[in-house]
Amino acid sequence: MKLLIAIVQDEDASKLISALMGEGYGVTKLATTGGFLRAGNTTLLIGVDDCKLDGAMSVIEKVCHSRKQIATAPTQMMAGMTNYTPYPVEVVVGGATVFQLHVEQFKKF
């Protein structure tokens, strides 16, 4: 058995959860926050039998796409300056980061 930890953008989360549950996968949702854009992310915990691993990964890949977005990034602060002027930057967001862990034992009570 495997445990997939999938970190996805909030925009993709509900669609992915619906798709995974529609295929019979159990999903636990955790609200998290990203570091770079400080935007909301969702971390999903997905327990998967080894024989269903490829199917779960396919669903994640199908639903979660990378896309470009304009974000505001601050300029570098110079010594002695008290305020800054933000400027727009194009960044790639979305997609999914998936960690796959081997589960030694699983019990459900």
Please state, in angstroms and rounded to a whole number, the distance separating the CA atoms of residues 21 and 18: 5
Helix locations, 1-109, DSSP H: 10-22, 53-63
User: How would you write the pLDDT of the chain (109 residues) with one tens digit per residue?
Assistant: 999 999 998 888 999 999 999 999 999 999 887 665 566 789 999 999 999 999 999 999 999 988 777 776 655 555 555 555 667 777 766 789 999 999 999 888 9
Residue 12 in contact with residue 97, Cβ under 8 Å? no
Strand partners, 86: 74
Please state, in angstroms and rounded to a whole number, the distance separating the CA atoms of residues 103 and 33: 26
Backbone φ and ψ for 34, nearest 5 degrees, come out as -75, 160
| CATH architecture label of 2-102 | 2-Layer Sandwich (3.30)
pTM value?
0.76
Q: What are the sequence ranges of the domains in the chain?
A: 2-102
Of the chain, the end-to-end C-alpha distance in Å amounts to: 17
Give the SS3 label for residue 20: helix
**DSSP label at 35?**
S
Amino acid letter for position 95: G
